[in-house]
Amino acid sequence: MSTVLQLAKRFREVLLDGVWIANTNFKDQLSDVTWEQAVTQIGSLNTIAMLTFHIDYYIAGLIQVFEGGNLEIRDQYSFDFPPVESQEQWESLLNKLWNDAGRFAVLLEQTPDAKMNEVFVDEKYGTYLRNIDGMIEHAYYHLGQITLIRKLLS
């Protein structure tokens, strides 16, 4: 299996449908979270809604680059999102995450393996491979947080 197909599979596993690493994924963990639960603050922890937005923010930024655009996302803005005040808004955020995750996986699958060793936007960011691996690891990190927050809420 090619590198990009392996990466796309790993990406889908953490976001949409896998259980190999964490025995769960974002879609599984978020499927029955209500908007009230998603915005409930526990101590100084980020809310589930904030973490959901945060992960999608980075996925959307990668999509833009893979579609030929500029890297416009900035860490300092990765938690700046409008408050979720209804189930409809929460479901809209979730649907954006699922759509962006699927879209990115397809874009990744369409990328030549050789591109993975090229510089991602600027040398300071390393290669495409490093950034995709980083996105997958970042997603698992926040998946763990969401899983723990859900347990604290129940």
Q: Which residues in the chain show pLDDT less than 70? A: none
pLDDT confidence of residue 153: 96
For 69-92, the pLDDT digits (tens) are: 999 999 988 999 889 999 999 999
Amino acid sitting at position 17: D
pLDDT at 52: 98
Query: Residue 113's pLDDT is what?
Result: 97
Q: Is residue 16 exposed (0-12), middle (13-18) or buried (19+ Cβ within 10 Å)?
A: middle
pLDDT of residue 1: 81
Spatial CA neighbour of 55 closest among 29, 37, 20, 85: 29
